[in-house]
Amino acid sequence: MAKIIHSMVRVLHLDASLQFYADCFGLLPAHRLDFASFSLVYLRNVENDAEIELTWNRDRTEPYTHGDGYGHVAVCVADAVADRARLLALGYSPLDIKEFKADDGTLIARYFFIQDPDGYKVEVLERHGHYQ
């Protein structure tokens, strides 16, 4: 069987991205590889086995495009309302909280989205049902 170990995103400003992922999700560098023209920084926290890999190409000056294929990375938190308020207090711009419900009104998910400094979407789901 295969095990997911990381998902990679390319970043234009490494320091801004490191600050965002630390502030918003408590993801800190677990491993870093620096080369002459690029760096790879793998982020995680104690709750995760899988990592987000930030790839920083030093000579890149133009923002990356995401095309129409990129969707989002998702994280889960204990309380989406409280976490959104925390991010607002830190000066970030999370979108409004949404609720996804079954036809009978049963809550499937409570969530919001936020974008990192490079425009990558991160879905923040409240721990509930499938989303643990």
Active-site residue numbers?
123
Q: Record the tokens describing residue 78, joined without a space.
A: 């204990």
> Using an 8 Å Cβ cutoff, are 114 and 122 in contact?
yes
Alpha helices in 2-132 (DSSP H): 14-25, 80-89
Q: How far is Cα 29 from Cα 33, in angstroms, rounded to an integer?
A: 11
Looking from the CA of 26 toward its CB, the CA atoms found within 13 Å total: 9
